[in-house]
């Protein structure tokens, strides 16, 4: 039986580094599972757009009985369930189901939260120069892009709480967006707050996947920090997480309705 196509859905950006990073990540996914067809689509700014990818898959499936051309698992390249996961992507997929009935499209869960994301963050911090013995004297700013969605906000706050139990002397969540919710400082404000607490060393860990406008804002806000980690990018842990979400969605689709109700 041919496996469903994995369609990775990224937001897209005018910054060319964004698409390059997404493609590097999907290339790593392919290398981890040879034979799996992995496609990439973007919601905005970059090509190919998600509808065009789905149309192409439908056209290719019209002349074959291969399930790989008919069944698609659409995986949002998102760390939290916010607007794009709850509104934009479902709308695009609903339209595809209506206009392309030969396709069977299932939306997978977003990437976070997951222990693999914690591991990817730790990898980037190690690469930036943080050693295990540094944590007790280092304050960490967990800098996400930002959201007004209560569920997404709660997830970021919970990740920060979990990180506090891994040896950091202090952990503060921060948002890059100018519309940060109450209680969430901007990156630069979180750095200043840690300094005011007397923290000797401050590290900023961007909780974002690819470069772009908001990650650049995180980097600007980290000017007063000692260490700035890189974005998660094509980290091996992130590639494994994409496959885990794909497998979960595929397994859920295979279970009888009585078991998934």
Residue 163 in domain: yes
Q: Are residue 166 and residue 242 in the same domain, yes or no? A: no
Q: Are residue 246 and residue 200 in the same domain, yes or no? A: no
Residue 209 sits in which domain range? 129-228
Is this structure's pTM higher than 0.75?
A: yes
Q: Are residue 35 and residue 90 in the same domain, yes or no? A: yes
Residue 124 in domain: no
pLDDT of 86 > 90? The answer is yes
Average pLDDT over residues 79-86: 91
Average pLDDT over residues 179-189: 78
Q: Are residue 64 and residue 149 in the same domain, yes or no? A: no
Residue 190 in domain: yes
Total domains present in the chain: 2
pLDDT of 153 > 50? The answer is yes
Residue 162 in domain: yes
Q: Cα separation of 119 and 95, whole Å?
A: 36
Buried b (16+ CB within 10 A) or exposed e, 43-77: bebbeebbeebbbebbeebeeeeeebbbbbbbbbb
Average pLDDT over residues 132-161: 94
Q: Name the phi and psi angles at 85, rounded to 5.
A: -75, -30
Q: How confident is the model at residue 132 (pLDDT cuts 50, 70, 90)?
A: confident
Residue 260's pLDDT is 38
Tens-digit pLDDT profile for residues 31-42: 999 999 999 999
Whether the CB-CB separation of 148 and 175 falls below 8 Å is answered with no
- CATH code of the domain in which 161 resides: 3.40.50.1400
Q: Are residue 199 and residue 251 in the same domain, yes or no? A: no
Q: Are residue 218 and residue 242 in the same domain, yes or no? A: no
Q: Are residue 135 and residue 184 in the same domain, yes or no? A: yes
Residue 117 in domain: no
Average pLDDT over residues 62-74: 68
């Amino acid at each position: 039986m041919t496996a469903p196509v994995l369609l990775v859905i990224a937001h897209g950006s005018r910054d060319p580094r964004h698409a390059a990073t997404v493609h590097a990540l999907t290339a790593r996914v392919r290398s981890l599972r040879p034979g799996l067809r992995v496609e990439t689509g973007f919601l905005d700014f970059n090509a190919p757009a998600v509808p065009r990818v789905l149309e192409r898959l439908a056209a290719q499936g019209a002349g074959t009985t291969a399930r790989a051309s008919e069944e698609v698992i659409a995986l949002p390249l998102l760390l939290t369930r916010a607007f794009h996961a709850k509104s934009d992507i479902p709308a695009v997929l609903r339209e595809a189901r209506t206009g392309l009935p030969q396709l069977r499209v299932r939306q997978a869960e977003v990437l976070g939260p997951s222990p693999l994301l914690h591991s990817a963050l730790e990898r980037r911090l190690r690469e930036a120069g943080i050693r295990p013995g540094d944590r007790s004297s280092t304050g960490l700013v967990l800098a996400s892009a930002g959201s007004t969605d209560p569920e997404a906000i709660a997830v970021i706050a919970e990740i920060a709480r979990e990180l506090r139990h891994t040896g950091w002397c202090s952990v503060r969540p921060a948002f890059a967006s100018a519309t940060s919710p109450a209680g969430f400082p901007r990156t630069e404000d979180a750095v200043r707050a840690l300094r005011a607490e007397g923290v000797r060393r401050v590290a900023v860990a961007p909780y974002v996947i690819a470069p772009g406008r908001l990650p650049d804002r995180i980097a600007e806000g980290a000017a007063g920090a000692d260490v700035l980690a890189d974005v998660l990018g094509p980290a091996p842990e992130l590639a494994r997480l994409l496959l885990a979400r794909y497998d979960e969605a595929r397994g859920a689709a295979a279970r009888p309705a009585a078991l998934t109700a």
